[in-house]
């Protein structure tokens, strides 16, 4: 179960990103977990009714069961918006909000594959797409229906490991479209096709298919934690039951060993 921490867990503002993305609440802060251990984290929030924190929490639980590379710590946090406003500028959406649920994850020491120099970005990306762990991320994204994955939201660590970040657009049809939200579609599979030669792209898809064989046991492992998390996040028990049933059925069907191979047009 991913922990849900009170606002007192947000102890100290550390920094705001130099380049502010679409989410202007993103910042680094010192977060203290229930045992008292401190974690330097990236924290991001979203206005009420926006399912970012729910989706990020679900993604973390599935990634944990799959043993996908990820930050060492993650939690949901009641973010004290007024304290944050004293440390960094927030746009008009936050003027009347005092508390909101945020997602935080431990800071990863790594670099983006992207680069200001197009030739270098393309070279880094082409090298990344030859790695089985990137194919594993791509397979994970198709399983959980992540609508927005690109080379800007995974990192390469000093050890050469690729770690996905920003998993908020998972369960796109069930959570986002049903809630009236939408986003542009980005996927590692599409990027691989544009970067790799035909033989390399075929190898990438085969690696995706092989990685998907781990999805069914990961789904079985994650199911109790996913159910617990959904019931913690959805107050109404009838709505929580319906939500859990729909999501688990969706993930269970797509976790079948042959599902991704059929989607890719490969023989399992």
CA atoms of 190 and 229, how far apart (whole Å): 32
- Global confidence as pTM: 0.93
Question: What strand order describes the sheet that includes 74-80?
Answer: 4-5, 74-80, 99-106, 38-45, 27-32, 10-15
CA atoms of 183 and 188, how far apart (whole Å): 16
pLDDT digits (tens, 9 = 90+) for 119-133: 567 777 778 888 899
Q: Domain-by-domain residue ranges, the chain? A: 4-106, 110-216+257-264
CA atoms of 239 and 28, how far apart (whole Å): 34
Residue 169 φ/ψ, nearest 5 degrees? -95, 35
pLDDT digits (tens, 9 = 90+) for 56-113: 999 999 999 999 988 889 999 999 998 998 999 887 777 778 788 999 999 988 777 7
pLDDT digits (tens, 9 = 90+) for 208-242: 999 999 999 999 999 999 999 999 999 999 999 99
Residue 235 φ/ψ, nearest 5 degrees? -65, -45
């Amino acid at each position: 179960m991913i922990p849900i921490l009170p606002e007192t867990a947000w102890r100290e503002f550390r920094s705001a990103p130099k380049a502010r993305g679409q989410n202007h609440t993103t910042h680094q802060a010192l977060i203290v977990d229930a045992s008292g251990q401190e974690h330097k984290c990236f924290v991001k929030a979203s206005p009420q009714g926006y399912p970012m924190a729910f989706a990020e929490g679900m993604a973390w639980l599935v990634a944990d069961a799959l043993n996908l590379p990820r930050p060492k710590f993650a939690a949901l946090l009641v973010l004290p918006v007024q304290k944050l406003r004293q440390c960094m500028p927030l746009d008009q959406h936050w003027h009347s909000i005092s508390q909101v649920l945020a997602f935080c994850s431990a800071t990863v020491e790594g670099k983006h594959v992207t680069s200001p120099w197009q030739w270098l970005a393309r070279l880094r990306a082409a090298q990344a797409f030859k790695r089985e762990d990137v194919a594993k991320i791509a397979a994970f994204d198709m399983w959980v229906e992540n609508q927005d994955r690109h080379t800007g939201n995974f990192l390469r660590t000093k050890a050469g490991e690729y770690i996905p970040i920003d998993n908020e657009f998972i369960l796109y049809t069930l959570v986002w479209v049903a809630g009236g939200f939408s986003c542009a579609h980005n996927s590692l599979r599409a990027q691989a096709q544009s970067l790799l030669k035909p033989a390399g792209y075929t190898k990438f898809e085969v690696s995706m298919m092989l990685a998907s064989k781990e999805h069914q046991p990961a789904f079985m492992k994650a199911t109790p934690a996913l159910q617990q998390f959904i019931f913690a996040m959805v107050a109404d028990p009838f709505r929580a039951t319906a939500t859990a049933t729909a999501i688990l059925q969706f993930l269970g069907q797509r976790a079948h060993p042959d599902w991704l191979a059929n989607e890719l047009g490969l023989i399992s």
